[in-house]
Structure 1
Amino acid sequence: MLDVVDRLIETVNAHDLDACVRCYSPDASMVGPEMQAEGRDQIECYHAHVWVGIPDLSITVWDRIAKGDRVAVEGMLNGTHTGPFLVAGGRILQPSGRLVSVSLCWVFTVENDLVTAHRLYFDQLELYTQLGAEPAWGEEGAAPVAPCYLPSPRQKR
């Protein structure tokens, strides 16, 4: 169970989209403050958008806890905001050039050595402050589904 989560984090750090998506089941879901994604195609869009917004992104894992079919990972996301980046409320922040260092907790459900659910938790105020952006408090509208406003790296091949 920990193997697939470790592999997923390795692929995120390597920015290997194909290998990253293969860590998820075909009908997996991913939910975070800025979006929700259903299935591998939408999850691919999420990871691609993050790597465009923060192309040097890396995750440092501090701790992992596994129980039953659940794995929780606590860590730090680091990188530089040099591309467009989707935030809660559906707003796209233009590149700021600012460094980002945000603590996170990712919770996974794993079945048959594949991630079936991925929940992303992080301090949104910490992120907004580091990006010099106004929080989306009180903005209307739900989080977008699949932030595919950017072309997927697969489309560039």
Structure 2
Amino acid sequence: MAPDREEGDSRMSNVTNVTDDLINALNAHDLESALECYTDEAVYVSPAGVGEGRDEIASFLGAFLTGFPDIRWTPWSTVVVCGNLVITQWALTGTHGGPFLMPNGEIIEATGRCVSVRGCSLRTMDGDHIAVHCVFYDQLELYAQLGAELVRQSR
């Protein structure tokens, strides 16, 4: 029984190491290193949309790195479920110091406002790489902190 436990512990350690690598790369604003955490065909799902493949994922992650030059992800807890699903609860903090693309295509120019947003991520792993990354946070919380005008569109 001990070998199975060691193998399971090693597998859990590998997938949590990828989480640490991703967060460290994003906090260092090293987009290239962050993208190395994903498979070539990875899918990124967030409130702002869906990105397929590393180039599209780079667009989503790059938008945050550009809009918030001092952005920092702080993990609160990480849990591995069934060996390949990693769930992390986190907080994102930063100062809006650059252009930030809204989902409707508008760009909010730098406001100098500080933001703090809570969220969680679910990552399905394929070996030692992220295959699917689903990010959940309250867009309204973020946009309100930026002072964005949210206007209801008429049909």
Task: Specify the TM-score bucket, using the shorter chain as the normaliser.
Answer: 0.7 to 0.9
Q: TM-score under structure 1 normalisation?
A: 0.83
Deviation at 1:8, TM superposition (A): 0.6
Residue aligned with 1:100, SS: strand
Number of corresponding residues: 140
CA distance in 2 between partners of 1:47 and 1:97 (Å): 20
The residue correspondences of 1:1-150 to structure 2 (distance < 5 A) are 1-68=15-82, 69-135=84-150, 137-138=152-153
Deviation at 1:111, TM superposition (A): 1.1
Greater shift in the superposed pair: 45-54 or 21-30: 45-54
**1:100, 1:127 within 8 Å by CA — same for their partners in 2?**
yes
Q: Which runs of 5+ in 2 are unaligned?
A: 1-14
Structure with the greater relative contact order (CA < 8 A, sep ≥ 6): 1 or 2?
A: 1
Residue aligned with 1:15, SS: coil
Deviation at 1:100, TM superposition (A): 0.7
Residue aligned with 1:119, SS: strand
Specify the code of the residue in structure 1 equivalent to 2:68.
Answer: I
Specify the code of the residue in structure 2 equivalent to 1:53.
Answer: G
CA distance in 1 between partners of 2:154 and 2:17 (Å): 39
Deviation at 1:87, TM superposition (A): 2.3
Deviation at 1:134, TM superposition (A): 2.2
Residue aligned with 2:44, SS: strand
Q: TM-score under structure 2 normalisation?
A: 0.84
Q: Which runs of 5+ in 1 are unaligned?
A: 141-157
Q: For residues 39-79 of structure 1, give each alpha carbon's deviation from its aligned partner in whole angstroms, at most 9, with x where no partner exists.
A: 01111222222111001000011111110211111111000
Which structure has the larger Rg? Answer: 2
**1:34, 1:86 within 8 Å by CA — same for their partners in 2?**
no
CA distance in 1 between partners of 2:98 and 2:154 (Å): 23
Instruction: Kindly report the root-mean-square deviation, in angstroms, between the aligned alpha carbons of the 2 structures.
Output: 1.6
Residue aligned with 1:134, SS: coil
